[in-house]
Every structure is written in C-alpha cells, then in structure tokens.
Amino acid sequence: MKITTRVSIWMTLIISAIIVSGLVLAFTVSEQYKQTSLERAVNVNAEFILSQASAHLQAGDFEPSDFDKRAETFTTFFRGVDTSEILRIKVWSTDGTIVYSNDKSIIGQNFAENEEFRGSMNGEIESEIKDPVKAENIKETGYGQLMEIYVPIRSDDGNIIGVIETYTVLDFVNKSIQETTQMIFLVVLVSSLGIAASVVFVFTNLKRNVLFPIISIQDATKKIARGDFEINLQEKGDDEIKNLSMDINTMVKELSKQRDAIIRGERLAAIGELAARLAHDLRNPLNVIKHTVNLLTRKLESAMEESDKFHCNRLQRSIKRISHQIDEVLDFVKMSPIQISDSSVLHMIQNSIDRIKVPESVQINLPRNDTKIPCDQKKMEVLFSNLFSNSIDAIRGDGRIDLTIDETENYVIIDIRDSGPGIPEDKLGKIFEPLYTTKQNGTGLGLVSCREIVNQHHGEIRAFNNPTTFRITLPKTIKVTQSSPEPRSDIVECEQVSE
C-alpha cells in the first residue's frame, strides 16, 4: 500500500474518531447537565417545602384522623407554597395513609407499599419522573410527565412525622435542559469540525511538504539507478526535505559531470590510440619524402626552371603542413603531467607569438599589465600558440587580436579577442569536441588540446562571440595531480569587455 493511501486512511479514521468522540462527549455532557438540573430542581423544591413545613406545620397535622381539619390546615399550607411549577401536593402519615390531597377521593386511603414513600420514611428525599399511572395518581392522568418529590418532614427532635409529596411540572426545567443541550451539541460540533479541519490542514501540508517530495525523491533515485540524470527536483517542502532535494540535485549534476568525463575520457583514449598509430605510421614515410625532396632540390636546384622550383616549394609546404598536423596529434596524445612553476603571463604570450608566423596584416595588441601564475610554461605556450593560430586563420586578412589580463581574489582571467567574423552559434558548443573542426586542413584536436591543458591546471576555457573571445580562467594556486581534473564549477566569470 502506498504511503499516500495509508495517510489518507489514517486521516479518515482520525476525523471519524474526532466526530464520534465529539458526539459521545456532547451526549455525555448533556446527560450530566440534565441530571444535575433535575437534582437541583429536586433540592430547591425540597428545601422550600421543608422551610414552609417547619414554619407552619406540627406533628399532629400528619395524624390520619379528623380529615376535615387536616384539609383546612393543608389547604392553607398549599396556598403558601403554591407556585407555577407545583401542580398539587399530597400529605402522607407515617403509616402510608393519605392525610390530604387535592384529590379528595383518595384521602384516608393507605398506599404504604409505595416505594418512594417507603424510601422517604428512611429519611431520604425521593424523586421520580414518570407518567402518572399509579393508583393514587387518578387526578394527574391528564398531564404529561411530572416530577414526584417525596419530602420527609421531621419534628424538632429529628423524628419523621410525615411525608409531603409534590407534583412539579417540568416544562420550565425541560426547556432549559433542551436549550442547553442544543448549545452543548452545537459547541461540540463546531469544535469537532474545527479540530477535523485542523487535522485535514496538517495532513494536507504533510502530504505537500513531506510525502510528495519524498515520492519525487524516490522516483528520482530510480531514474538515477537507470542512468537517467535528466532530473531537477523541485526544492520545496520543510527545511530538511528541501535541503535533501538540493543535495540530490547537486549530486545528480556531479554524477552527470563525472559520467560525461568518463565518456569523454574513453572517447579521447580511443581517439588518442588511433591517432598515435596513424601519426607514427605516417611520420616515417613522411620523413623519407621530406628528406628526399630536400635532397633532390639541393642537387637539381641549378638545373630547375622557375615552374619546377614553384612545385618543389609547394611540395615542401604541404609536407610541412602535414608534419605540423602530425605533431598536433602527438601533442594531444602525449598529454603528460604538468610541471608547475611561477611564470609570467606576458612572457609566455610573447614566446607563443614568436613560435608562430604572424601576417603583417594582423596586429596583436598585448596588455600593459602582467602577473605570475603557477603553471606548466611549455604547455601554456602551446595553448596560446594554438589560440593565436586559430584567430589568425579566422581573420583572413586585415584584423587585430587584443589581449587582456584581469584578476580576481583567486583567479587570473586572460581574454584573447579577435576581429574575425565569429563562430556560428550552432557550432559554438561543439568547438571543444574531439575531431570537430571548421577548417579544411584542421585535425579537430587543437582546441581539445587547449581544453585539456586548461583542465590540467584546474582552470576553465570558454568561447563566445561579439567579439570572438576565448576566455581562460586559471587559479592563482594549484595542486598538482597526475590526471586531468574536471573544470572548476566555482570559477568567477569576468564581465565581457566589448571591443
């Protein structure tokens, strides 16, 4: 069973329990209030009867004789205690004989077996709510429920001398109980609904901020296990869940980078192995051709016509170009560990310019400032030479190459900008891929070598247009490793400077 289903079931059970508990509580409280109200009515009535009897009645008034005199005494007494709630009274002697009643037909009759009367003779105030169906209730049968209250009357010495029974109408008490009961049920119902709403709110937030993110994380881990790194978890929920989502997103990015690095490394290794074989296989016969052409040129130079010299020079240039491409391939294959030393950036740039042929139509503007960085000077000069050669090839005529050196707290940023036409946007992201080239006589390994050199220095190289710029970001401190590290993701990018 899914966790969301279990949570929904638990929420339903809790809400049901709250509602049932609320109804039970309301019923219990209302019954308790009803019982308390009736007991209070009994006590008030009994206290009133006792106070009046103590003030106006004597022991002889309860004797089962001379009923006319008793009628006169208790008629006067009844007028004194007559209220809207007291319907009628009965007066009992100690032997169970009715001494006085509004119903004259039962005066003088004995009902000693009456349970409430017998309880009163034991000194208890007895009360009962029921329909008037007893033999002595002939005159009360036209009424609804009545409260019969049996009050034992004591003499000054504490002996019971008789019992006064009152019939009290419960309309007022029942109305009060009904109104209060309705209020109790209303309050409990509203409270239960409020608690239920709070439970729904809590569970809804639990599902939205905890359960759903956990399910998303679970789905993400399954994708990661299948090798699918196209994952971007929404960073929402409580702090812990949000931080976990952020950590997983970071982990996926790092795993994706490592996978790409492994794939690129395997690809480069395969390309390097193939390129090394081809380069070695081509270099030997190319050297033979080169030396043969040079030898023939020297021996036959005096006998050559101008057209022959032209073709020989063309052949030598082609051999030189092929030799350069082979060297480029071998430089890429033999990516040896770097040898670190503090080197002047401007000095390395100047040495790189001296290594290549710069046309007179191309102007190179060097920066005025200089700084030193820990690096492999030879590799950095190869890097700059390749970038300058690319810029010169891209300019194809009159143009300029501008260099700037900027610094941040931890990095040195070197920009090489040229006035060439730029790199097509659809090709800008591919120029650092192995064997990708836009030049007719290129190997597609020059910029790859540049990137590997920068990676060995824990730096980063980027390319962008307007104007065409290669930006090299290198750290001011470096830890030497034997393998080529991945580009740093925390490098601070300088603001691009327009030409």
Predicted TM-score of the model (pTM) = 0.42
Contact 145, 170 (CB under 8 A): yes
| Same domain as 326, residue 449 | no
| Same domain as 117, residue 16 | yes
Per-residue pLDDT, 373: 92
| Same domain as 45, residue 144 | yes
Taking CA atoms, 85 is separated from 44, 105, 146, 148, in Å, by 12, 23, 10, 12
Domain CATH code at residue 95: 3.30.450.20
Please confirm whether the linkage preceding 467 is cis (ω < 30° from 0). yes
Domain CATH code at residue 384: 3.30.565.10
Per-residue pLDDT, 73: 85
Domain-ending residue, one of 278, 307, 331: 331
Is residue 491 in a domain? Answer: no
CA–CA separation, 249 vs 246, rounded Å? 5
CA–CA separation, 434 vs 336, rounded Å? 18
| Same domain as 418, residue 319 | no
Contact 136, 98 (CB under 8 A): yes
Residue 402: strand, helix, or coil:
strand
Per-residue pLDDT, 459: 92
Domain-ending residue, one of 331, 348, 381: 331
Per-residue pLDDT, 494: 37
CA–CA separation, 422 vs 394, rounded Å? 8
Is residue 410 in a domain? Answer: yes
Is residue 211 in a domain? Answer: no
Domain total in the chain = 3
Is residue 218 in a domain? Answer: no
Contact 377, 341 (CB under 8 A): yes
**What residue type is 3 in one-letter code?**
I
Show the domain range for 70.
3-180
* Run of H or E residues at 412: strand 411-418
Residue 358: strand, helix, or coil:
coil
- Closest listed residue to residue 243, CA positions, set 207, 228, 251: 251
Domain-ending residue, one of 331, 360, 391: 331
| Same domain as 83, residue 147 | yes
Residue 378: strand, helix, or coil:
helix
Contact 435, 425 (CB under 8 A): no
Residue 212: strand, helix, or coil:
helix
CA–CA separation, 251 vs 217, rounded Å? 12
Domain CATH code at residue 243: 1.10.287
| Same domain as 133, residue 277 | no
**Token pair listed for 84:** 């809207």
φ/ψ of 170, rounded to 5, equals -100, 15
Is residue 484 in a domain? Answer: no
**Mean pLDDT per 10-residue interval, the chain, length 499 residues:** 72 83 84 83 84 83 86 82 74 90 85 89 84 51 69 88 84 78 85 84 77 75 76 67 77 79 70 68 78 80 76 80 69 71 92 86 91 91 88 85 92 92 77 62 68 90 89 85 43 36
- Closest listed residue to residue 166, CA positions, set 73, 44, 37, 63: 44
Torsion of CA 20, 25, 27, 32, to 10 degrees: 170
| Same domain as 396, residue 291 | no
Is residue 136 in a domain? Answer: yes
Residue 55 CA neighbour count, 13 Å, CB half: 10
DSSP3 helix / strand / coil % (the chain, rounded to 5) = 55, 15, 30
CA–CA separation, 151 vs 173, rounded Å? 20
| Same domain as 360, residue 246 | no
- Closest listed residue to residue 404, CA positions, set 340, 473, 352, 356: 473
Max Cα distance, the chain (Å):
180
| Same domain as 342, residue 290 | no
Cβ-based burial of 105 (10 A; exposed 0-12, middle 13-18, buried ≥19): exposed
| Same domain as 376, residue 460 | yes
- Closest listed residue to residue 476, CA positions, set 380, 372, 351: 372
Is residue 227 in a domain? Answer: no
Per-residue pLDDT, 435: 59
Is residue 327 in a domain? Answer: yes
| Same domain as 162, residue 30 | yes
| Same domain as 32, residue 159 | yes
